[in-house]
Structure 1
Amino acid sequence: MPSRMRACLTVLGLAAAAVANAATTPPPLAPETLKIEAMPAPGDHWIYLLDLEPTIDARLGVFDLDKQKLIGQRGAGMMPGVAQSADRRFTYVATTYFSRGSTGERTDVLEITDNQTLLKTGEVVLPAKHAQQVPSQFNTTVSDDGGFAFVTNVTPATSVTVVDLAGRKVASEVDTAACVLAYPSGPSRFTSLCESGKALTVTVGKDGKETHREQSERFIDVENDPVFTHAQRWGNGYLFLSFSGKVTPADFSASPARFDAPWPLVSPRESAEGWRPGGHQPFAVHRSSGRLYVAMHKGGDGSHKEGGSEIWMFDLKSHVRIARWPVTAAKLLPVLALTVTQDPNPVVVAATGIGLQSFDAGTGKLLLSDRKRGHAILQVFPF
């Protein structure tokens, strides 16, 4: 066949194919219109979850445990500290941004989010020294009277930036003299933990400037049995937990601060077997029922960051253990962070890094096992 004829047949074949395809190809999709939906009314079992992946732009999500659904999500910058107003109206995120991702000009801000819309409604630019650390619920906090936010700084010198929330401005910076974090301790007061094992409590005036400071007696055995910096509110004070499993109640609202006698989670036999708490956020308290939930594992010195292979439940009045819930033995993932909702029918939530697990707070019945929720979920707490 002459080459000219073959070329003509090829063109005719392509034309026929184009006509056939045109007849069978569906019409193009209509352009998608983006919209912002209103937040539904919060449920009793809504939680925040903080995913630190990617590190330079963490994600703060709101998750409905009952519907097993992510309700909303917002960016949270690099190594953020997150706090909520007492009336649950606002969320405050102290974080860091760099102009070129992980380098360039640094800007630290306290971002203000309206929880009714999950939209950012304002920000306060902070001194560029916000502590970048594995998340702590006491890196950024709000005073008990709701007037101030306290943001931890490390340069490595330690201080706390005091933010006037009504005026949305930096009010002052308090030198905390090698003490770190900010535990709200009454109206316009916060407490920092010191390397000596003591606590420093600072009071600020209406203008946010320091008016008084007081250091406590030594209550932490920093050499032999340090405490986790994670704590839980109990009455007017806090419960701290040592690496070996001793609960220490501390009331910084009093002057001088009061400390009740520590009590152990483990028996001498269990201690000899290596049982101890572990994780980034290893325990939670349901306040109205007086129940304490602790992530426990078998380990030794230096294993305090290991996830829990079991969850133990205690009565805070009698100090008696009520139940032990298997985690890894039930083919679930080790627990890195614990929280519990505060409603009359509470749910215990365990973050595993890559996912979430939840349990009925009374029976330990497994309610949720999700291994694909995130990449580095290291902090969870009620919305």
Structure 2
Amino acid sequence: MQLAISGHSGPEGDPIVDPHFSPPIPTMRHPIQRTGKCHWLAGVLLYAGMTASHAAEPLQPETLTVRPMPPRGDHAIYALEMDNPLDTRVVVYDIDKKKLIAQKGAGFMPGVARSGDYRYTYVATSYFSRGTTGERTDVLEITDNASFRKVGEVVLPSKHAQQVPSLFNTTVSDDGGFAYVTNITPATSVTVVDLNGRKVAGEVDTAACVLTYPAGKNRFASLCQSGKALIVSLDKDGKETTREQSAPFIDVENDPVFTHAARWGDGYLFLTFSGKVTPADFSVSPARFDAPWQIVTPQDAKQGWRPGGLQPFAASEKAGRLYVAMHQGGEGSHKEPATEIWVFDMASHARVARWKLTGAKLLPMLTLSVSEGDRPLVFGSTYHGVQAFDAMTGQLVHADAKIGKAIVQMFPF
């Protein structure tokens, strides 16, 4: 047996194997003798075996699964993340379990609403065929909250208002039959969606008034630049039957209100930039406005205290309390996050507590909400995280500074 190998020899005269060399297969004419050549052949076979044993195992394919949503708890919350406005996300966070339990894409600058029976989530949003440009499609997406799966959609006129999200950009009627989607082109209108038939029922021209505040069966109000409210009633098919304008209740020049509001009975609580609570009930005709009351004393005002944030207050009828996000600022600071949360008794209008956030080394709060169960929590966004407090004592029950990115909206799931 002759093997021709170019190269060098080892100290015993055996060839040094070149790892790039592929030797020819020898023809075996005689019984193998114990020679240097046999040692070399054993080395080649050993090398080949080692190479084979180090070959990577084939990767196993991954399978994505979707688990059913856990039963709704008192302390599960929606959070709307807008770090990428083209790919906004709706996430559900369980404060008790301290973890995210669901998430879904929500398109560009969406409006999010929940049905009164907690069964569905509705997202009014826009998509573009080429990311930021191209053909635009507006839809109302319908998600079943038991599975967090999309179960339907309604294509909308391509005029859904693209704005910093508000709880009143997209809303559901008090009886659950219609969704109201705010439009700005810049002309203002509302698309009425029949949620039972899952179709567009019609469009209401709101004459420079914006947003929707459900006010009884088939009835909503919009806020007008005149300081009045436009109240529209619909028939069972979603077509406008009557409209009326309220008396002025907003001083738009000197002390405008936040567009955020808190439901209270059949009406709403509005709050002005200076800290004046303004109750309004649009479910009656004419609309009723109870006497406003001030949460900021003259001494507080001298120190620069005023409400601020994207959802600057929340109210709990069960606890009989109003929670307001407060900061020290001046004119134009109404979007600044809160360094304190002030708590007011709704019966006496007296301030009963001040929860000092930054003094307790907590982060300022951009939004406030209150849960609706037997153990209510006041919770909200710190932009990148969530903080939650016992609604009665103010005791901190949760603080997570890294739950998400650019959380601009929160409310109970």
TM-score bin (small chain): over 0.9
1:20 and 1:286, CA in 2 relative to 1: closer, same or farther beyond 3 A? farther
Q: Note the 1:97-112 alignment, pairs <5 A.
A: 97-112=127-142
Tell me how far apart the structure 1 counterparts of residues 48 and 376 of structure 2 sit (CA, whole Å).
63
Determine if the alignment matches structure 1 residue 260 to structure 2 residue 290: yes
Paired letter, 2:112: V
Deviation at 1:36, TM superposition (A): 1.5
SS at match of 1:74: strand
**Deviates further, 61-70 or 4-13:** 4-13
Deviation at 1:30, TM superposition (A): 3.2
* Number of aligned residue pairs: 382
Tell me how far apart the structure 2 counterparts of residues 18 and 39 of structure 1 sit (CA, whole Å).
53
- Whether the 8 Å contact between 1:95 and 1:110 is mirrored in structure 2 is yes
Deviation at 1:10, TM superposition (A): 4.2
Q: Name the structure 2 match of 1:58.
A: 88
- Whether the 8 Å contact between 2:180 and 2:193 is mirrored in structure 1 is yes
Deviation at 1:9, TM superposition (A): 3.7
Q: Name the structure 2 match of 1:84.
A: 114
Q: Name the structure 2 match of 1:69.
A: 99
Identity fraction in percent: 65
Deviation at 1:199, TM superposition (A): 0.3
Of 75, 78, 85, the residue aligned with 1:45 is 75
Tell me how far apart the structure 1 counterparts of residues 242 and 339 of structure 2 sit (CA, whole Å).
44
Q: Name the structure 2 match of 1:125.
A: 155
Residue deviations 1:172-221 (CA, integer Å, cap 9, x gap): 11000000000001100010000010000000111111000010010000
Task: Select the structure that is richer in strand.
Answer: 1
Of 180, 189, 197, the residue aligned with 1:159 is 189
Residue deviations 1:105-163 (CA, integer Å, cap 9, x gap): 00000000001110000000000000001110000001111111100000000000001
Q: Note the 1:258-337 alignment, pairs <5 A.
A: 258-337=288-367
Q: Name the structure 1 match of 2:213.
A: 183
Tell me how far apart the structure 2 counterparts of residues 183 and 307 of structure 1 sit (CA, whole Å).
24
Q: Name the structure 2 match of 1:370.
A: 400
Paired letter, 1:209: K
Tell me how far apart the structure 2 counterparts of residues 267 and 313 of structure 1 sit (CA, whole Å).
14
- Whether the 8 Å contact between 1:287 and 1:342 is mirrored in structure 2 is no
SS at match of 2:302: helix
SS at match of 2:300: helix
Deviation at 1:44, TM superposition (A): 0.9
Of 131, 138, 150, the residue aligned with 2:180 is 150
SS at match of 2:368: strand
Query: TM-score normalised to the size of structure 2?
Result: 0.89
Tell me how far apart the structure 2 counterparts of residues 297 and 308 of structure 1 sit (CA, whole Å).
5
Tell me how far apart the structure 2 counterparts of residues 323 and 213 of structure 1 sit (CA, whole Å).
42
Paired letter, 2:19: V
Query: TM-score normalised to the size of structure 1?
Result: 0.96
**Deviates further, 357-366 or 180-189:** 357-366
Q: Name the structure 1 match of 2:62.
A: 32
Tell me how far apart the structure 1 counterparts of residues 281 and 93 of structure 2 sit (CA, whole Å).
32
Runs of 4+ in 1 over 6 A off after TM superposition: 12-18
- Whether the 8 Å contact between 2:319 and 2:392 is mirrored in structure 1 is no
Tell me how far apart the structure 1 counterparts of residues 74 and 405 of structure 2 sit (CA, whole Å).
25
Residue deviations 1:224-254 (CA, integer Å, cap 9, x gap): 0000000000011000000001100000011
1:29 and 1:238, CA in 2 relative to 1: closer, same or farther beyond 3 A? same
1:18 and 1:231, CA in 2 relative to 1: closer, same or farther beyond 3 A? farther
Of 230, 247, 251, the residue aligned with 2:281 is 251
Tell me how far apart the structure 2 counterparts of residues 9 and 318 of structure 1 sit (CA, whole Å).
94
- Whether the 8 Å contact between 1:82 and 1:137 is mirrored in structure 2 is yes
SS at match of 2:193: strand
Tell me how far apart the structure 1 counterparts of residues 186 and 16 of structure 2 sit (CA, whole Å).
79
Of 2, 19, 27, the residue aligned with 1:11 is 19
Of 223, 226, 242, the residue aligned with 1:193 is 223
Tell me how far apart the structure 2 counterparts of residues 135 and 292 of structure 1 sit (CA, whole Å).
22
Tell me how far apart the structure 1 counterparts of residues 336 and 214 of structure 2 sit (CA, whole Å).
28
Paired letter, 1:301: E
Structure 2: give runs of 5+ residues left out of the alignment. Answer: 10-14, 21-42
Tell me how far apart the structure 2 counterparts of residues 101 and 26 of structure 1 sit (CA, whole Å).
39
RMSD: 1.9
Residue deviations 1:320-357 (CA, integer Å, cap 9, x gap): 11111111122221110111101121111120111111
SS at match of 1:11: coil
Tell me how far apart the structure 2 counterparts of residues 49 and 268 of structure 1 sit (CA, whole Å).
36
Tell me how far apart the structure 2 counterparts of residues 319 and 15 of structure 1 sit (CA, whole Å).
90
1:269 and 1:124, CA in 2 relative to 1: closer, same or farther beyond 3 A? same
Q: Name the structure 1 match of 2:33.
A: none
Tell me how far apart the structure 2 counterparts of residues 358 and 333 of structure 1 sit (CA, whole Å).
11
Of 232, 236, 254, the residue aligned with 1:206 is 236
